[in-house]
Amino acid sequence: MADRRYTKTHEWVAVDGKHATIGITDFAQSQLGDVVFLELPSTGRKLAARESFGVVESVKAASDLYSPVAGRITAVNEKLAAKPELINSDPYGEGWILKLDLDGDLPPDLLDEAAYKKVAEESSH
């Protein structure tokens, strides 16, 4: 997954041409604890970069989800409705949240793996 990028708000985005898949990071899921519910948008909706598109609710807290990129939603992971714990068990795989058709260029402030690691380390103190 060389092309996976991250945000300071702990989302990830994997880009394949004009298509993007987004989710929350392993660090985010470990901080949230057991996820019990996600409030997610419908397909077709257009998102701006950094726009809040939903909520992830864990036993501990409710946290807003922000889109790392701009685009139109083409798919929402429907498995999460019945199995929100996929966010915990496989955050970069089966726990993906949305697929988007990208709109324009990627935001310049997306982080690579090394830069995100630093952000995560700082947030865990």
Partner 1 sequence: MVDFGGWEMPQQYTSIRDEHLAVRNVAGLFDVSHMGRFRVAGDSLEFLQHLVTNDLSQLGPGQAQYNLLLNEEGGIVDDLVVYHGEEGFFVVVNASNREKDLGWFREHAPSGLEVEDRTFELALIAFQGPRAQELLPAEGLDGLAYFGFRRGGVAGVRALISRTGYTGEDGFEVFVNSDRVVEVWDAILARGKDAGVLPAGLGARDATRLEAALRLWGNDMDETVNPYEAGLGWTVKLDKGDFIGRGALVKVKAEGPRRKLVGLKLEPGSIARHGAAVSSGGKKAGVITSGTHSFFLGYPIALAMVEAASLRVGDTVGVEVRGREAPAEVVKLPFYRGSAHSAAAPTRS
Residues forming contacts to partner 1 in the complex (CB under 8 A) are 33-34, 36-37, 39, 55, 57, 59-62, 85, 88
User: C-beta of 26: minimal distance to partner 1 in Å?
Assistant: 14
User: C-beta of 75: minimal distance to partner 1 in Å?
Assistant: 21
Strand partners, 6: 12, 111
Nearer to partner 1, 33 or 93 (CB): 33
Q: Decide if 40 contacts 97 (C-beta within 8 A).
A: yes
Nearer to partner 1, 31 or 74 (CB): 31
| Continuous segment of H or E residues that includes residue 35 | strand 35-39
Please give the Cα distance from 23 to 17 (Å, whole number). Answer: 18
Assign 32 to helix, strand or coil.
Answer: helix
Nearer to partner 1, 43 or 52 (CB): 52
